[in-house]
Structure 1
């Protein structure tokens, strides 16, 4: 089997896989509106715009609706909304066409957010704007509500410097004569269908990633749950002592991490107006008369930075979803990060990674070309076999196999490097579209985002030229069938078109890999094997 054929088999398998994956990631959802469960877990409170407070640290800015104390907006100050935008990336949002909120409250018999009250408590705050000051270790923002029986409910938001996790605490002071029973809930809800302004990758099959719900429990370290499951009322009901719930999208996540008070219940639900929700409820806590109780939870609102997420909750770093090749993508990213810390440029780091991978696979590549050279030297004898047994195809196959055995040639040896390189190539692809560190990472000149496609398609064209050169300098010209030869000549054009949409960092990797292949091909194809 010739080098260029193996090369194009690899490319074909890769692109076919991406097309299949993009199809898998699409949501084929109906526009059917489902009934709201209740006011706590349901649609937006009509009074949400009446009273709000603003909380900010170095990296996040939050807008809190005082009706219920839900987080309705969250800006990530260290990340741009788009490449050339001056506005921060808005993760949580509440508008007329899109809802993405992190809710929390107290439900149960005496919970102020219980559905029996048919409304949310209106909290009070001493200030409207809270900002973490320099050299301040933490920012505590208390909001308070007192019910008709004199029970004081205090909800506290705690932010720390340069941290994306927010501590949420409920302090309940029972000044009544009766014991109180309640549960805490945390919920993330989001409109299933993205508006145009947020659906920036809808036309690019190569940049499609998972968007939907996810959770972790005692039985599952990390499990994704598609929006179409929720939309079709195939809802979760999982009981676990540990775990978390999350909403995921490319590069960013929102996750509730409840404090373990026993067995929490994880659920999903389909709300009205095409909104999906995932949440948890804690076990019931009892607060005796004239006593106090506290319930805590953490909320992650930010980029999927693995080293920070794994400190917040066990398995939360798995939301950086590298797919089924995570065991290759994770060490590959760590190596890439080490090179970046030394060099300071992700593009140059990708180039060095390419040389590193080519170095690792060099023994296999050498064996591949040796096998090809030996098989080429046998072509005259194979031709004789075919002429001798023209009408007996079974005998031809058997004689050729015997010839390979006699010469100690494995015809499948030329395929092995292809199957080794494909997982490496795919793992790099997963890493580029899944690692937030590479979002808006510049290389040089016009390449300002290695995770996005080349805006001028220069790199894909260069890649196509290298593919064409590999084909022309290999033995494709020996193909006798004119139709087959035309197909082989047309393949670089086809894959150049496909690569127009791929992340420029991946195309860069492929170009460097092709250049190394050209050098190796020139060297090895001039090698004369020992007879």
Structure 2
């Protein structure tokens, strides 16, 4: 009867995990990147982009991007990492493309477009301006005059506009080799009286990001205020209300963070500023900053400097800006609570990749490094596990002797563990030790753009995406794609097999229920891990193989343990 109950409980537990896990994973763990390839007819085919965000309300007014870019005068932007243009109408930075990053691995894939002009389907842009009392300031319809023909790292461009009432306005745009645009905003007052003026900057987007916002990866408005990163506000918060969140700070920044991209306003770090995250009409959102107002007397001028970061969240690039004085700029990547642990994992993995050239091999080498560092701890645990196997005959004898006296059996078992110096949890401890490392690698694969679209071997074209080679559709020969939790790939199968043999080396559990759970756990993990990034599975498979090798070496070095186990 007990065996039947144990079997039923094991089946129920398995079903609960298999069918309940997708809901848990969707809430707590964001999905891996979309597969870079698909398998059709047994052949690997690159996937094309799946499309962009839906059109805003009033779709009839949405215009074609190419036509909008031809309207009105523009100043081209050319750097090694950015191409695009500045719209002289409104002095908006509304055309930004990242030529070093593609939408997919297909050869004809388009470069990532981050900014698009107002009136297009995916409008996303930034600008700088002024507010004031007693003067007319430029607005979105003002047409500026440019001093140059192109904005490059070697050639800044100054835009000028005169209100015809005694005040002239200038924005001197300069750009570095990466993703930072500097706007020096100057106002000159040649009128008869004093005017109050203050500069501002804004970033506006027509839709929320299509990247998922989860508890492990923040996507949406964020900023750093008074020395602390703020991830507390997301798009849904602004939609539900209040529609505006305000912040006061000296030093810091604000903007929108996507999974891999960032658009952030960086004011003068020595000046106090006000910042807001806003919900506009329809699906529009905006973040903005404004500096303190300045009283500008007749014949005087004032210059205030703001900056705009628009580009990829490259770890070393963000760290370089942080070292140059932008506080916590690397927190644009949501490292989370284990920041102190994930950054070294990333640094080591990226260093290995730079020297090896293959990201999958770098993950395997990382596994060797981690296992090497934990070798002494694992040895003690494996020795305890082997000793546990050796005392199993005594444990069975106690179970038989006290089968009708459970409290006495527990007491005698604890005395046996103490006398023989064994740990009944030894088989689980190596797994628990791996959890922080596994989570850190999960975050690195999910967050860092350096790992995006990195291939391994054969059909694995993107280690930050799930294994595309599914067994249930006969590797693409059958015309259907299994659901995520049934999409068992070759790597997931290898993971289950390696865990099965690893558990076979562990001592059998005396509780039949526990033993049955351990027997089905490898196959449950095979289903659970199948939708995760292929790089995580490569790490876990390698770790399982090294664990088995280490246990084999232990038995080879201590034959008495092997003999005791066999007896």
Fold conserved between structures, TM > 0.5: yes
Of 106, 112, 118, which aligns to 2:130? 106
Q: Which whole-Å CA distance do the structure 1 matches of 2:214 and 2:237 have between them?
A: 24
* CA deviation after TM superposition for structure 1 residue 293, in Å: 1.1
User: Is 1:73–1:93's contact at 8 Å kept on the other side of the alignment?
Assistant: yes
Q: Judging changes above 3 Å, is the alpha-carbon distance between structure 1 residues 461 and 487 closer, same or farther for their aligned structure 2 residues? A: farther
- Per-residue CA deviation, residues 305-340 of structure 1 (Å, 9 max, x unaligned), is 232223331211111222222211101111122222
Q: Which whole-Å CA distance do the structure 2 matches of 1:92 and 1:106 have between them?
A: 22
Q: Judging changes above 3 Å, is the alpha-carbon distance between structure 1 residues 326 and 98 closer, same or farther for their aligned structure 2 residues? A: same
- Residue 323 of structure 1 aligns to a residue whose secondary structure is coil
2:46 paired residue number: none
Of 130, 138, 141, which aligns to 2:150? 130
- Per-residue CA deviation, residues 152-181 of structure 1 (Å, 9 max, x unaligned), is 111221123x22100011121211112121
Q: Which whole-Å CA distance do the structure 2 matches of 1:316 and 1:264 have between them?
A: 17
* CA deviation after TM superposition for structure 1 residue 96, in Å: 4.1
- Residue 370 of structure 2 aligns to a residue whose secondary structure is helix
- Per-residue CA deviation, residues 481-502 of structure 1 (Å, 9 max, x unaligned), is 9987776555444433343332
Q: Judging changes above 3 Å, is the alpha-carbon distance between structure 1 residues 503 and 24 closer, same or farther for their aligned structure 2 residues? A: closer
Tell me the TM-score normalized by structure 1: 0.82
User: Is 1:361–1:417's contact at 8 Å kept on the other side of the alignment?
Assistant: no
2:28 paired residue number: 21
Deviates more, 1:473-482 or 1:441-450: 473-482
- Count of aligned residue pairs for this structure pair: 489
Does 2:199 correspond to 1:184?
A: yes
2:332 paired residue number: 319
Of 471, 496, 506, which aligns to 1:467? 496
Q: Which whole-Å CA distance do the structure 2 matches of 1:49 and 1:109 have between them?
A: 35
User: Is 1:368–1:416's contact at 8 Å kept on the other side of the alignment?
Assistant: yes
- Residue 282 of structure 2 aligns to a residue whose secondary structure is helix
Q: Judging changes above 3 Å, is the alpha-carbon distance between structure 1 residues 52 and 266 closer, same or farther for their aligned structure 2 residues? A: same
2:91 paired residue number: 69
Q: Judging changes above 3 Å, is the alpha-carbon distance between structure 1 residues 465 and 309 closer, same or farther for their aligned structure 2 residues? A: closer
* CA deviation after TM superposition for structure 1 residue 463, in Å: 4.0
Q: Which whole-Å CA distance do the structure 1 matches of 2:89 and 2:491 have between them?
A: 57
Q: Judging changes above 3 Å, is the alpha-carbon distance between structure 1 residues 111 and 521 closer, same or farther for their aligned structure 2 residues? A: farther
User: Is 2:445–2:451's contact at 8 Å kept on the other side of the alignment?
Assistant: yes
Q: Judging changes above 3 Å, is the alpha-carbon distance between structure 1 residues 71 and 208 closer, same or farther for their aligned structure 2 residues? A: farther
1:90 paired residue number: 113
- Residue 247 of structure 2 aligns to a residue whose secondary structure is strand
Q: Judging changes above 3 Å, is the alpha-carbon distance between structure 1 residues 416 and 17 closer, same or farther for their aligned structure 2 residues? A: farther
Q: Judging changes above 3 Å, is the alpha-carbon distance between structure 1 residues 261 and 301 closer, same or farther for their aligned structure 2 residues? A: same
Alignment of 1:162-177 (within 5 A): 162-177=177-192
Q: Which whole-Å CA distance do the structure 2 matches of 1:49 and 1:225 have between them?
A: 36
- Per-residue CA deviation, residues 108-137 of structure 1 (Å, 9 max, x unaligned), is 3257558xxxx53513234895253xxxx5
Alignment of 1:351-362 (within 5 A): 351-362=364-375
Q: Provide structure 2 residue ranges, at least 5 long, that are not aligned to the other structure.
A: 1-9, 33-53, 58-67, 472-487
Alignment of 1:244-259 (within 5 A): 244-259=253-268
2:170 paired residue number: 154
2:6 paired residue number: none
Q: Provide structure 1 residue ranges, at least 5 long, that are not aligned to the other structure.
A: 26-30, 35-46
Q: Which whole-Å CA distance do the structure 1 matches of 2:31 and 2:362 have between them?
A: 31
User: Is 1:368–1:415's contact at 8 Å kept on the other side of the alignment?
Assistant: no
* CA deviation after TM superposition for structure 1 residue 480, in Å: 9.2
Q: Which whole-Å CA distance do the structure 1 matches of 2:102 and 2:146 have between them?
A: 32
Q: Judging changes above 3 Å, is the alpha-carbon distance between structure 1 residues 490 and 372 closer, same or farther for their aligned structure 2 residues? A: closer
2:309 paired residue number: 300
Of 394, 405, 421, which aligns to 1:408? 421
Does 2:246 correspond to 1:237?
A: yes
- Per-residue CA deviation, residues 9-48 of structure 1 (Å, 9 max, x unaligned), is xx999999754423799xxxxx9x99xxxxxxxxxxxx99
- Per-residue CA deviation, residues 469-516 of structure 1 (Å, 9 max, x unaligned), is 442461589679998777655544443334333222222212211221
Q: Judging changes above 3 Å, is the alpha-carbon distance between structure 1 residues 191 and 402 closer, same or farther for their aligned structure 2 residues? A: farther
Does 2:252 correspond to 1:217?
A: no
Q: Which whole-Å CA distance do the structure 1 matches of 2:261 and 2:29 have between them?
A: 19
Deviates more, 1:482-491 or 1:120-129: 482-491
Q: Which whole-Å CA distance do the structure 2 matches of 1:438 and 1:475 have between them?
A: 34
1:227 paired residue number: 235
Tell me the TM-score normalized by structure 2: 0.77
Q: Judging changes above 3 Å, is the alpha-carbon distance between structure 1 residues 182 and 400 closer, same or farther for their aligned structure 2 residues? A: same
Of 460, 463, 469, which aligns to 1:450? 463
- Residue 384 of structure 1 aligns to a residue whose secondary structure is helix
- Per-residue CA deviation, residues 218-271 of structure 1 (Å, 9 max, x unaligned), is 151454521112222244222111110021111211111101453211211110
1:40 paired residue number: none
RMSD over aligned Cα atoms:
3.6
- Per-residue CA deviation, residues 421-440 of structure 1 (Å, 9 max, x unaligned), is 11001101101111111112
1:510 paired residue number: 540
Of 88, 95, 100, which aligns to 1:78? 100
- Residue 236 of structure 1 aligns to a residue whose secondary structure is strand
Does 2:385 correspond to 1:372?
A: yes
- Residue 502 of structure 1 aligns to a residue whose secondary structure is coil
- Residue 253 of structure 1 aligns to a residue whose secondary structure is strand
Q: Judging changes above 3 Å, is the alpha-carbon distance between structure 1 residues 250 and 23 closer, same or farther for their aligned structure 2 residues? A: closer
- Per-residue CA deviation, residues 282-320 of structure 1 (Å, 9 max, x unaligned), is 111222111111111111111112322233312111112
Q: Which whole-Å CA distance do the structure 1 matches of 2:343 and 2:428 have between them?
A: 26
- Residue 412 of structure 1 aligns to a residue whose secondary structure is coil
